[in-house]
């Protein structure tokens, strides 16, 4: 009770002081003309609020994500960028790679605690414990989620009767071969390769009949269909080449492949924490600079030994995984190159046909020119005799028929001579 009664005078004193402050500042606020300080403050506040409203409009809202952990548990989340950045431990610029601007690019980026995957329609962030999938309700992403559900969980729990009825966790064969992030990467590459392979199969199924039809009948409709097929082929080839180049880039750099091993980094961090905790719990304090150097050298030696135990085999496993899908993508690329070669061969065949037709038209034009030349000679003779020229043939009866027949026969002989000359010079086909 004494403490409560001691606070009352202080509270009453504060109440007395507050009105006095308001009364002191009231003349400044109740003046007839607004103060310039207040007007400038209001303008600044309005400008700040307007800029804030513009920034709020520019900011994108939360996006839909699916979380898949290594035990097979999944849930759909609606998270903002800041939540994903804190959860996955990646910089903000990596989320731009997963945005719509870079949706056509192919990237597999290794970070300290996560792998940023942007391959075709699959955009995800993989950690050592879970995977965050962007836009999981898209039709193109659903096969990837189904494949994950078939491969996850990677751990199976069995009960061992060792006298204490304890539940022990026994790793399956898949986990002994590859860690979680590599399993997810394998599923991603498998889905991407399957999608690209099915696209190439559809292109082959559509392209070969169209090209055969074009070879039989060169028409505007068939040419338009082949043109659309070539545009589809060009886009599909670019998609395949992007994924292939990204895998080839990883295969060329062992350091990048080593950075993809998130499980090893997690184990090393756990070993580091255990060493630090063990050193502090044992109460070992280095007495002097030489002792500190000895302990630091021993620590660095232990970390290097632990790293060497993991790095070689893990890089080899990842290299074998990437090489398998690189060869698969190389086969898909060869298939689409064969379709392109078939298109080029068909275009060459069509061009040969068109050149042949053009040559036939030139020959026909040459024949018609020679015939018109022979007819022009007969017209010249007829025109000459149709003039008012005195001739004894006008007084001769039954001369019209033989005269016209002889003139036409002479023109026909001239035409045959010109035709023989053209064939002799190989201007016309025999």
Calpha distance 92→100 (Å, rounded) = 15
Identify the H or E element spanning 134.
Answer: strand 130-134
Q: How far are the Cα atoms of 173, 182, 273, 322, 355 from residue 176, in angstroms, in the given order? A: 5, 12, 24, 18, 65
**179 three-state secondary structure:** coil
Q: Which band of pLDDT confidence, cut at 50, 70 and 90, is reported for residue 380?
A: confident
**pLDDT surpassing 70 at residue 159:** no
DSSP 280-340: HHTT----SHHHHHHHHHHHHHHHHHHHHHHHHHHHHHHHHHHHHHHHHHHHHHHHHHHHH
pLDDT of residue 188: 93
DSSP 160: E
Mean pLDDT of the chain: 75
% of the chain with per-residue pLDDT over 90: 26
**pLDDT surpassing 50 at residue 20:** no
**pLDDT surpassing 80 at residue 107:** yes
pLDDT of residue 314: 58
pLDDT of residue 233: 95
What topology is assigned to 59-150 in CATH? Lipocalin (2.40.128)
pLDDT of residue 3: 42
Predicted confidence (pLDDT) per residue in 322-347, tens digit: 999 999 999 999 999 999 999 999 99
Question: 179 near 262, Cβ under 8 Å?
Answer: yes
For 94, half-sphere exposure in the C-beta direction (CA atoms, 13 angstrom radius) is 24
Query: pTM of whole model > 0.95?
Result: no
Q: Which band of pLDDT confidence, cut at 50, 70 and 90, is reported for residue 304?
A: low
pLDDT of residue 232: 94
> Phi/psi zone of residue 120: left (φ > 0), alpha (ψ -120 to 50 degrees), beta?
left
The encoded tokens of residue 5 equal 């009664």
> Phi/psi zone of residue 79: left (φ > 0), alpha (ψ -120 to 50 degrees), beta?
beta
The 8 Å CB, 24+ separation contacts for 417-423 are: 418/370, 418/373, 418/374, 419/367, 419/370, 422/366, 422/370
Residues found in the chain: 430
β-pairing, 63-69 vs 107-110, is unpaired
Q: Which band of pLDDT confidence, cut at 50, 70 and 90, is reported for residue 161?
A: very low
Q: Which one has a higher pLDDT value, 61 or 13?
A: 61
- Chain CA centroid to CA 245, Å: 11
Q: Determine the average pLDDT of the residues in 229-254.
A: 92
DSSP 31: -
Residue for token pair 């060329």: 252
The encoded tokens of residue 307 equal 């790293």
Question: 117 near 188, Cβ under 8 Å?
Answer: yes
Q: Which one has a higher pLDDT value, 285 or 194?
A: 194
């Amino acid at each position: 009770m004494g403490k409560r009664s001691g606070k009352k005078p202080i509270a009453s004193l504060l109440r007395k002081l507050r009105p006095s402050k308001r009364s002191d500042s009231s003349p400044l606020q109740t003046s007839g003309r607004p103060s310039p300080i207040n007007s400038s403050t209001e303008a600044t506040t309005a400008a700040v609020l307007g800029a804030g409203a513009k920034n709020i409009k520019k900011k994108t809202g939360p996006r839909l994500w699916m979380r898949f952990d290594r035990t097979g548990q999944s849930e759909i989340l609606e998270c903002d960028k800041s939540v994903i950045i804190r959860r996955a431990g990646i910089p903000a610029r990596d989320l731009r790679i997963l945005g719509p601007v870079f949706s056509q690019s192919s990237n597999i980026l290794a970070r300290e605690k996560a792998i940023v995957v942007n391959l075709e329609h699959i955009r995800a962030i993989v950690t050592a414990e879970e995977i965050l999938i962007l836009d999981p309700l898209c039709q193109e992403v659903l096969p990837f989620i189904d494949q994950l559900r078939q491969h996850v969980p990677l751990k199976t729990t069995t009960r061992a009767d060792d006298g204490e009825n304890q539940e022990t966790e026994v790793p399956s064969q898949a986990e002994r071969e590859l860690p979680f992030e590599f399993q997810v990467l394998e599923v991603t590459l498998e889905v991407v390769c399957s999608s690209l392979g099915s696209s190439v199969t559809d292109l082959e199924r559509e392209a070969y009949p169209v090209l055969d039809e074009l070879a039989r009948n060169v028409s505007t409709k068939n040419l338009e269909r082949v043109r659309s097929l070539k545009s589809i082929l060009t886009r599909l080839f670019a998609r395949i080449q992007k994924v292939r180049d990204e895998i080839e880039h990883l295969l060329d750099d062992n350091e990048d492949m080593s950075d993809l091993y998130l499980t090893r980094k997690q184990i090393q961090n756990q070993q580091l924490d255990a060493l630090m905790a063990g050193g502090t719990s044992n109460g070992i304090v280095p007495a002097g600079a030489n002792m500190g150097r000895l302990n630091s050298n021993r620590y660095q030696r232990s970390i290097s030994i632990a790293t060497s135990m993991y790095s070689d085999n893990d890089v080899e496993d990842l290299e074998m995984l990437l090489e398998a899908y690189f060869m698969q993508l190389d086969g898909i690329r060869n298939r689409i190159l064969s379709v392109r070669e078939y298109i080029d061969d068909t275009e060459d065949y069509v061009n040969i046909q068109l050149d042949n037709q053009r040559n036939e038209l030139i020959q026909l034009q040459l024949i018609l020119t020679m015939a018109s030349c022979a007819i022009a000679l007969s017209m010249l003779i007829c025109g000459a005799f149709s003039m008012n020229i005195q001739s004894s043939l006008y007084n001769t009866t039954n001369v019209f028929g033989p005269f016209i027949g002889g003139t036409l026969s002479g023109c026909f002989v001239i035409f045959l001579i010109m035709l023989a000359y053209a064939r002799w010079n190989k201007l016309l086909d025999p």
